[in-house]
Structure 1
Amino acid sequence: MSNLSGTLYVVATPIGNLQDLSPRAQAVLREVTLIVAEDTRHSRHLLTHFGINTPLQSLHEHNEHQMTPILLQRLQTGNNLALISDAGTPLISDPGRYLLEMAHTQAITVVPIPGPSALVSALSVAGFPADRFVFEGFLPAKASARQQQLNHLAPEQRTLVFYEAPHRILDCIQDMKQIWGEQRQAAVIKELTKCFETVYRSTLADIFAWLSAQPERQKGEFVIVVQGAPPLDTKTLDLNTQRIFNLLRQDLPLKQAAQLTSEITGISKNTLYNFGLGK
């Protein structure tokens, strides 16, 4: 690897309010040779606002394998590049992972330029534990696959965070309240940093009713933050779960019986393992 290799900057851009583009981010975007963007038309508006005239190159899911070797060649010959997404911190449900992965394998210096993130911003205002959380990105668009994923996440005790599109927000909340229970606490956060920014926290049942009451509430980009499941008391496992576990336990080691019962029932394998130990 040549000592002349350039640097790949991963630059966070505003998720709504243009004032959130940091002075450091502006300086980097002015000084690099090329800005790699998810949608050059979208990003050009942002750059024009700040008087930044750096050339743009698109990088998205349909061309990243084709473009990555070309971009790596530019980095290897001393050019500094910046990677941005349409909004927020790159690679959080955005393309670019393959470029980053290949840059690391080529020992190219990668530097984060931190800034806005819908994920972190939503967590900071939802009021649920944020020291341990699970980010699931966008749930599957098809109802059956979405419901299957929500069933899989049912025993998760950490705070859960999702992104959701406006045309699926009602169906998503409906599935959540049916699978996780109407009284599970959650927050829907929409249009972060924009004029119609809204944070609404309540039960899943009330959130569904609130969204349904006025169609305009279903518009915008959503982050859903859901309180984790309460810890299961191993002494109150339902009789069907106990029956399944005990039948498997007759022929399998404790760990394997707990794993299989978890796959069947959706209950945490650790909870079932503790049940098997008599805790």
Structure 2
Amino acid sequence: MSGTLFLIPAPLGDESIAWLPEGERAKVVHITHFVVEAEKTARKHLKALGVTTPIRELAMSTLNEHTKETDVAALLAPLKAGHDVGLISEAGCPAVADPGAQLVALAHRHGIRVEPLIGPSSILLALMASGANGQCFAFHGYLPVDAAEKAKQVKELEQRSRQRNETQLFIETPYRNNALLLQLRETLAPSTRLAVACDLTLPTQTIVSHRVQDWPKDAPDLHKRPAIFVIHAA
């Protein structure tokens, strides 16, 4: 009998803050086989989670942006041998704007049970707190690095939002956050809602959401802080 592939959310920052409900945590503390985005980060998360097996004895395989598509199938081996396996990314929910979707799809193809656990998702938390349309939305990952290309895409996303009543979400490399926020305030229409959710779930959490014309002059400092940007054009 095959094992179960558990999709285990990871904390968005501080491991000292409980990030899984106790009932969810209890489902996975017995697991000895993990597929992880980065071993060093995963070991920290699993130690904080309280897995019952010593960390050094856990079997870990890596699945990230460098993993070849042809190597993903081999990650099913422990599941086929009857072991439960935990899939965990560096932060947030695995397979959502993070590696893992290919493995999940293969598990379904091979009739392996997949169980997603309840935990933090920066995308959903930002959407919940933005005041933007939560019925129809899209996440785009990173925008282009080039300023002109970025401005072009921002205008395209704003138009798409207006035409479809669709909220648009995206992220930036943390050291470029302040520059992106300034560019959004200069590029978007005054009536467009612009929200930023930063350091979600942490004591330093900051969430600001206004129409562009109502944004305070003293914007929060987002430098090197994980943030989600949200726009919605009415």
TM surpasses 0.5: yes
Partner of 1:13: 10
Partner of 2:59: 55
Paired letter, 1:221: P
Paired letter, 1:6: G
Partner of 1:97: 101
Partner of 2:225: 220
Q: 1:199 aligns with which of 189, 202, 207?
A: 207
1:95 offset after TM fit, Å?
A: 1.0
- How far apart are the structure 1 equivalents of 2:36 and 2:215? 35
- How far apart are the structure 2 equivalents of 1:180 and 1:138? 17
1:10 offset after TM fit, Å?
A: 0.9
Give the CA RMSD over aligned residues: 2.3
- How far apart are the structure 1 equivalents of 2:118 and 2:215? 32
Q: 1:173 aligns with which of 168, 176, 181?
A: 181
Task: String of CA shifts for 1:181-211, please: whole Å, max 9, x gaps.
Answer: 2442211110011121111222436658434
Matched, 1:82 2:86: yes
Q: 1:140 to 1:208 in 2, by over 3 A?
A: farther
Overall identity of the aligned pairs, in %: 29
Q: 1:184 to 1:29 in 2, by over 3 A?
A: same
Task: String of CA shifts for 1:23-82, please: whole Å, max 9, x gaps.
Answer: 233223322231211111112112222432343332211125354222112212212111
Q: Which moved more, 1:10-19 or 1:84-93?
A: 10-19
Count residues with an aligned counterpart. Answer: 223
- How far apart are the structure 2 equivalents of 1:121 and 1:148? 27
Q: Which runs of 5+ in 1 are unaligned?
A: 231-279
- How far apart are the structure 2 equivalents of 1:22 and 1:58? 26
Q: 1:24 to 1:39 in 2, by over 3 A?
A: farther
Task: String of CA shifts for 1:124-171, please: whole Å, max 9, x gaps.
Answer: 222222122222222223334323322322322222222223222233
Paired letter, 2:118: P
Partner of 2:153: 149
- How far apart are the structure 2 equivalents of 1:170 and 1:224? 11
Higher relative contact order (CA 8 A, sep 6+): 2
Does the CA contact (< 8 Å) of 2:33 and 2:78 recur in 1? no
Paired letter, 2:212: L
Bigger share in helix: 1
Does the CA contact (< 8 Å) of 2:178 and 2:222 recur in 1? no
Does the CA contact (< 8 Å) of 1:64 and 1:98 recur in 2? no
Does the CA contact (< 8 Å) of 2:63 and 2:100 recur in 1? yes
Does the CA contact (< 8 Å) of 1:64 and 1:96 recur in 2? no
Partner of 1:277: none
Q: Which runs of 5+ in 2 are unaligned?
A: none
Partner of 1:70: 74
Q: Report the TM-score, using the length of structure 2 for normalisation.
A: 0.83
Does the CA contact (< 8 Å) of 1:12 and 1:25 recur in 2? no
Partner of 1:249: none
